[in-house]
């Protein structure tokens, strides 16, 4: 499973991340990509991260190529990241 993360900054970071979530959903639906999990976490009041998990590796690679996430990682790395920012 690969997890992709996108970061949004500023006072409207949460709204921007939620808007981006809609576009990722549309992208996934168009290409029949199954998003296993998704969510948000806040690294600070003005930094929100939106993430998705994709099990199918070719589809995860396609998503990475087309949507250019800030970070792509394993589930274990994701869990450590969440713990590091105090969201776990």
**Residues 38-55: tens digit of each pLDDT:** 999 998 999 999 999 999
Q: What are the tokens at 15?
A: 């709204």
End-to-end CA distance of the chain: 19
Full-prediction pTM beyond 0.85? yes
Which tokens go with 27?
């992208």
Total count of domains within the chain: 1
Distance CA 87, CA 61 (A): 27
Q: What is the pLDDT of residues 1-20, one digit of tens each?
A: 999 999 999 999 999 999 99
Which structure tokens are listed for 25?
């959903």
Range of the domain at 10: 2-84
Looking at residue 52, which CATH number applies to its domain? 3.30.70
Q: Give the Cα-Cα-Cα angle 41, 59, 86 (nearest 5 degrees).
A: 15
Q: Which helix (H) or strand (E) holds 3?
A: strand 2-9
């Amino acid at each position: 499973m690969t997890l992709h993360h996108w970061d949004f900054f500023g006072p409207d970071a949460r709204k921007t991340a939620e808007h981006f979530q809609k576009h990722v959903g549309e992208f996934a639906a168009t290409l029949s990509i199954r998003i296993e999990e998704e969510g948000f976490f806040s690294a600070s009041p003005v930094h929100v991260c939106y993430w998705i998990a994709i099990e199918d590796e070719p589809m995860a690679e396609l998503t990475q190529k087309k949507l250019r996430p800030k970070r792509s990682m394993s589930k274990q790395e994701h869990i450590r990241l969440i713990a590091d920012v105090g969201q776990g």
